[in-house]
């Protein structure tokens, strides 16, 4: 008989592989210089199933893949940031991923303990992209403001953030997460039942 720990490790490994594949695929679906991150749902599922450490780990896997894509030029905007400051770019990419996974897992766990797991998964699916994009924008505005001005190409920077990043990139990611949260809930329920 297979141990619970082995099953958990196998499921976490499968979610990690899914994170890698979905993140790499996201670079083929671009709106402006940014790829849409459909990768966030496996992070939500892992955090809801296995807790804070799993959420942070899956977020970290996401961040590492983003860093590699910055290094190898798949992420054009990230490659620009990498050429300016590699250490800071890596810290931002990995840090925002870990924080998003941790925050999503915390939300899911809190609502599960309150007896509202479905609401927890939905709010976790909202939390992960909010934290991911929020930290990215905060770090971009703080540490790479001159690059942000270049990306704005003469537009007001706040207008560019609102239209070029939030409207065109963040809102579609958020919508996908919200739409897929019932599917995530079914996957979580099925995996919990089979433990």
Give pLDDT tens digits for 120-159: 999 999 999 999 999 999 999 999 999 999 988 889 999 9
Across the strands, what pairs with 31? 34
Decide which of 92 and 36 is more confident: 92
Across the strands, what pairs with 35? 30
pLDDT given at position 2? 66
pLDDT given at position 189? 86
Give pLDDT tens digits for 88-105: 999 999 999 999 999 999
Q: Helix 76-84 and helix 86-113: axis angle, to 10°?
A: 120
**Region label for 155, one of left (φ > 0), alpha (ψ between -120 and 50) or beta (otherwise):** beta
Measured between alpha carbons, how far is 176 from 55 in angstroms, rounded to an integer? 19
Residue 30's SS3 state is strand
Q: Is the overall model pTM greater than 0.85, yes or no?
A: yes
Give the pair of three-digit tokens for residue 42: 């496996």
C-alpha triplet 24, 122, 50: angle, nearest 5°: 70
Give pLDDT tens digits for 171-185: 888 988 899 889 888
Measured between alpha carbons, how far is 54 from 143 in angstroms, rounded to an integer? 29
**What does the mean pLDDT of the chain come to?**
90
Measured between alpha carbons, how far is 22 from 40 in angstroms, rounded to an integer? 9
pLDDT given at position 89? 98
């Amino acid at each position: 008989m297979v141990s619970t720990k082995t099953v958990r490790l196998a499921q976490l490994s499968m979610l990690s592989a899914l994170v890698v594949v979905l993140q790499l695929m996201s670079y083929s679906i671009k709106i402006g210089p940014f790829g849409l991150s459909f990768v966030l749902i496996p992070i939500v599922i892992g955090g809801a199933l296995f807790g804070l450490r799993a959420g942070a780990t899956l977020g970290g896997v996401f961040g590492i893949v983003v860093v590699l894509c910055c290094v190898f030029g798949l992420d054009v905007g990230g490659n620009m940031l990498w050429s300016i400051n590699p250490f800071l770019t890596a810290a931002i990419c990995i840090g925002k991923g870990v924080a998003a996974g941790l925050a999503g897992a915390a939300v899911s766990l809190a609502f599960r303990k309150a007896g509202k797991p479905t609401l927890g998964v939905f709010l976790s699916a909202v939390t992960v992209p909010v934290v991911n994009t929020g930290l990215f924008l905060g770090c971009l505005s703080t540490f790479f403001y001159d690059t942000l001005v270049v990306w704005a190409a003469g537009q007001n920077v706040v207008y560019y953030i609102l239209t070029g990043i939030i409207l065109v990139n963040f809102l579609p990611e958020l919508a996908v997460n919200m739409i897929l949260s019932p599917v995530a809930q079914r996957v979580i329920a099925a995996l919990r039942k089979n433990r």
